[in-house]
Structures are given as structure tokens and as C-alpha cells.
Amino acid sequence: MPSLESLPAELLLNVVEYIPRPSDRKSLCLVCKLLRVPATTLLYQRVVLDNTTPKWTSFKPETGMLFKTNPGLGQIRHVTFDSMSKKVLPEEVQAMTAVLQSLPRNTLRSIDCRRFAVDEKIASLVIAQQRNLISLALGPLTFNLTPFIKLELFGPSTFANVTTLEVPLIIGSLDDLELYQWFIARAPLRRLAIRTELSCNPLPGGLFDSNGSDGLLSRTLFSHLTNDSTAPRAQIEGLGMEYTNLQQATRTFSRFVDFSHLRSLELYDCAGTDVFIDAMAGHFQEHGGCKLEHFAYSIVEEDHISYKVVEKVLRTCEGLKSLMLFGIDDFAHFDLKLFQKHGSSLQALALQPDASEDSDCEEMGLTKGFYSTIAAHCQNLRELALPMPDVQFGIDEPRASQDFDSAMLALLGLPDLKSFRVFNWPVPAKAFPEDTTDDPLLQRDYMLEMDDFAYTHLAKLVNQREQTHSPPILCFAGLSGNKAVYDNEELQLPGPVCYVPLKQGDGFAKPQIGLQKMTLSDVEYVEPEVKILRWPFTLL
């Protein structure tokens, strides 16, 4: 691949046809995106402009990639803008405006600029020039857009095709909520994400942080339900909520959403999750027809949900494909047979019963029986993310690793597993000195020991399995940060690390599997078809 990067873009496009592996073809696409030359193919259909895109903030209208004769601009269908820093920079706003100005009319299908404040100019470029949008995620508005929409100043069919809508965490004012209410009441929505608690407290610069109770839920976003008791329930297929007080909002959502159409449900840091799930389960018990395929839940501060609530979801649904759970009380009492019920359909599983990451596996309820149950009954898993039993390295042989080895060997036997993310890092043999949590020398020494542990012990475990299928990519990455812990002392680590299996051999001896160290971004570049579960995973 590196030798191909120096080829001209036009030649690269011809070479693509003769490379059979999807990962190689997609890698070439990524290479072409980095070239500052006009695009000439469909490679640009999905464009993400963030800190991984070199010099995108220097984009200017009618120059380079944004030159009007670049036919690739007409192929862009999905565009995402993200800031390279915590605070959006002026040059990023200018570059985003230049990109929107350069796009042909009515070509975009989705736009995501949730980090950027939307002024009159950006709004007009999105609304007036892109009438075929089906997915919309705007940032805080700097002006009241609602009257322009209601008066149909941009035409009668403004956003008539929008089926996916996101209400952002940061809003410009209460006028933003009125605009989103207009969407919810009229657009043919199929996927709705609400990241706000729907009460506004002033922030510097005139913005509002939706951080409080969600008492405005019925009076703003769903006021049409209050005014019209006969309004039909929306046929929402994907519903995501973050920071919403579901204990207060459950009745509103029960009136708004037809649960029988729901395929994806994500509840992140929402108080009252158990109340919402009880209402949803009650609907299915009364009417049947549960189609839920994806369920994700995360803790709200110290408010873990009971294992019984999770059991209720799994008992109510049939054929879950994706399950993400963080923060569950008394998981040791969880009925593991429910994993067997969904074993034939489950393709992605992420589980961390103690979201604080301070407990070992036994304390969290992840026993030997849990790992063997997953390995025996969830044979179609492709992505997996779990904490593992503690293992210590830095000595001749890893100590107290029997539980780790048996769990790892069981999971490595999953035939379709492509990636396995381990939330907890191995324990070093020596304690960390006090007050050295980010010492670069300690970080280097730890990572050297980690690499040696992977190249010897992990590689040995990989080779103990019969080579009837390719082993998964192993990724060590914490849930809320990367840290190694020894006797309550923590060492912050530079970031996630992945070990990719590679066949080794000289043609005469039996081929062995070795592990090659890569960063997470390198893995996504080289093997783009392999997904490594991240947190937060997705909100629709």
C-alpha cells in the first residue's frame, strides 16, 4: 500500500479495479481523499472533515478540491464537520462555509455539524441549496429560524424528506426547540435522537446548555401532543436519548412513539430508565410485535439499573443483534440463559456491569460461567467488548492468569469474531511510584512490557486455538480512559493499542500466528471493514 500512495490519482482509480480485497480498495479511497487533486469517482460519497483530515481548514472556494470543475463534488452525499479542538476555531467555520458553497444544489442526503453554531449564512446554504436531505444534525442556532420555515420562505417542501433528526446538547435559545418541534410534528421521522434535558441555562456567548430537568418536553418538542389528543403516534424505528429524565418523560414518549415499530433504542445517562423500559415492556406484553434489534444503556452517575430491568428487555425481545450495557446492579444474579435466547442473532456485545471500572470481574459478576456461556451460545458475534480477569505481566510467566487464559481461549474460539476490545489493562509486576500518574518514562516501560506480553503470551493463546478461522483483532482500550492500575495507584497511558494477527512461516514449518502492534487509527485504515466497539458507541 505505501508504494501505491505515490501514484497519481487517475492511475490509482484504474488500479482499484484490480485489487480484490475490500480493505485494500477502501484504503485506496482514503489515500485518494488525502490528495489535493480533484476527485473523479464515487469515492467522495461520505466525507468526514475533522482532525484526521489534513489541512481541511485551509479549504477556500474555487481552489483545489473545491474548484467548480471537480466532478467529485457532485458525488458527495453525506458530510460531517467536526472541530479539531474543544472550541470551534474561526478558520474551521470559514472552511465549512466554503465547502457548503462549493457543493452542487440538492446533492446532499445528510449533514452533521452539531459542534458548529449555525448563523444565517450557513442556514441558507443548507436550507435553500440542499432540499433532498434525509438526515439533519445542526448545532446551536444564532437566530430564530422558525418563522422563516413556518412562512415557507424557502419553499413549501423545506426538509420534507428528513427522516433522521438530532436535537443537540447545546442549543442557541428556546427558539431552537420550537424549530425542532415543527420537525417532529410534520417531518416523516423514522429516527430521532434527543441529546438535551430540555431546560436551558445561560452560557457565555448567549448559548444555552440543556442541563436540568426536562419539564419543557411536553411544552416544546411535543406540544402538538398536548394540543391534539388525537395526533397519531410516530412510527419511529430508532430512538436515542441522552441526559433526559425518563421518569418524567415516559408518558410523553408513550403517547408519541409507536413502540411496535422500534428497532433501535439507546438510553445514555438517562434517569428513570427502568420506568421507561417498564412502559415499553408493558406495551409489548399487551400488544406484542417487538422488533427491537439494538439496545444500548449507560449509567447516570451512580444510578445503576437492576439486572431485572435488563432481563425484562431480553425476555420481551426476540432476535437482538446488538447489545451495549454499562452500569448494572447485581449482575451476578443475571440469568445467563437469556444470552442463549439471542445467541443466533447477536452480532455485537459490549458489557461493563460496573461503569466506574473500579471492580474486578468477580465483583462485577463476570464469572467463568459468563465467558463460557458467551463462547458457547453467541457463535455469530463479530464485535465484542468486555472486561477480562486480571492478569499480571513483567515476570517470566504471567501470574494468576489461569482465569484470564481460559476466558480468552473460550472467546478466541468464536468463529466470526473480528474484533475484541478489552476494557481493563494487564497489571504490571511492580507498583507505580506515587504522584507519577503521567510519567512518560513509566508509560514507555509499561508499553514495552505490554508489547512483550502480547508477542509472547497472547500470541501463544491465539495459536492454541485450531486455525479454522482468522483470529480477531485484539484491542486494549479503557471505557472512560486508558489507565493501568496497581494497588490503587494509576498510570495514565497514551491511548488504545491494537494487536493484529498475521500469519508467519517460512513455507516449510507449520505456519504460526503472530501479532503486530497498531494504533486504533491504523487498524481502521488498514482494515476498514472491521469495527472496534467504541464508547459512546452511537446515538442513532
Q: Return the half-sphere exposure (C-beta side, CA atoms, 13 A cut-off) of residue 472.
A: 27
Q: Which domain holds residue 12?
A: 1-35
Give a yes or no: residue 25 inside a domain: yes
Residue 15 lies in a domain: yes
The answer to whether residue 7 is domain-embedded is: yes
* Residue 196: C-alpha distances to residues 176, 398, 412, 539 (Å): 12, 46, 40, 12
140, 113 Cβ separation under 8 angstroms: no
Domain annotation covers residue 188: no
Tell me the one-letter amino acid at 516. Answer: Q
Q: Is 253 in contact with 225 (CB distance < 8 Å)?
A: no
Q: Phi and psi for 9 in degrees, rounded to 5?
A: -60, -40
Answer yes or no: is 480 within a domain. no
* Nearest one of 355, 359, 464 to 408, comparing CA atoms: 464
Can you give the pTM of this predicted structure? 0.82
Rounded (5°) CA angle 455-460-461: 115
Burial of residue 137 (number of CB atoms within 10 Å: 0-12, 13-18, 19+): buried
- The tens place of each residue's pLDDT in the chain, 540 residues long, gives 445 555 555 555 555 555 545 555 555 555 544 444 444 444 567 788 887 676 778 877 767 677 777 777 788 899 999 887 778 888 888 989 998 998 899 999 999 998 898 999 999 899 888 989 999 999 999 999 888 888 877 777 777 889 999 998 888 888 888 889 888 888 889 999 988 765 443 334 444 444 443 456 666 788 776 655 666 788 899 999 888 888 777 888 888 888 888 999 998 888 888 888 888 888 887 777 788 999 998 875 566 778 888 888 888 888 899 999 888 888 888 999 999 899 899 999 999 887 666 677 887 888 888 999 999 999 999 999 999 998 887 655 545 578 899 999 999 999 999 999 999 888 887 776 766 677 888 888 888 889 999 999 999 999 987 667 789 999 998 876 777 776 667 788 878 899 999 887 655 667 788 899 988 878 876 777 788 887 655 554
Number of compact structural domains in the chain:
1
Cell numbers describing residue 69: 470543475
Which residue type, as a one-letter code, is found at position 218?
S
Cell reading at 81: 464537520
CA 113 and chain centroid, separation: 16
Is residue 11 included in any domain, yes or no?
Answer: yes
Sequence-ordered strand ranges (E) for 61-108:
78-81
User: Is residue 10 in a domain?
Assistant: yes
Between CA 192 and CA 63 the distance in angstroms is: 37
154 touches 120 (CB < 8 A): no
Bridge partner list, 265: 239, 295
- Please indicate, yes or no, if residue 24 is contained in any of the structural domains: yes
